[in-house]
Amino acid sequence: MAHAAKKQDDNHGLKEAVAQFESIREMVDDLNAAEALRDQDDNSEAYEEAEQAIHDDPLSVMVRGSWHEPGKADEEGPSEFEILLCTGGPAVRIIGKLDEHCQPVKAIIQHQDWFKPWTDWQPSGASDKQEILLPYCRQFYFGD
C-alpha cells in the first residue's frame, strides 16, 4: 500500500492536471457570473475581463483536420483541437473534437511528465468535467 501511495505522490503530471482543471473551473465560474450580471444590467466589462482571462490562459491553441491528398486543400476544415496549458515536466493539455461549425463538442484533459506518454484524466464527475471544459474551450476560435 505504501508503494501505491508513493507512486501517486510522484505523479506530478496528475497533480498539475488537477491544478489546471481547478483554475479552469474558477475562470468558467467567473465567466458565468459575469454573464448573469451582464444580462441583468447590460454591463459587459466584467464579462469581457472574464473572457480575456480565458483567452490569456493557454500557451497555444491548435487545430488539425482530416486526411487528404498532398497538395490539395483540406476542404472539410479542422476536426480536432488542442489547447496547451503548460509544458515541461509536467505538461497539461486539452484535446477534443470539433463539429462542422468548428465548435468543441468533446474535450479531454491530458497530462504528461518526463518520459511518460500523454494520459487522459477523468475527474470524479465525468459530466461535471464537460460542463467545465466545454465552456472554456468554446471561448476560442477554431475556424480557418
CA distance 144 to 18: 31
What are the tens digits of pLDDT across the range 74-91? Answer: 667 788 999 999 998 899
Q: Largest Cα–Cα distance in the chain?
A: 56
Judge whether residue 107 has pLDDT over 80.
yes
Stated as kind and residue range, the H or E segment containing 105 is strand 104-112
Question: What letter represents residue 61's amino acid?
Answer: V
Q: pTM of this prediction?
A: 0.81
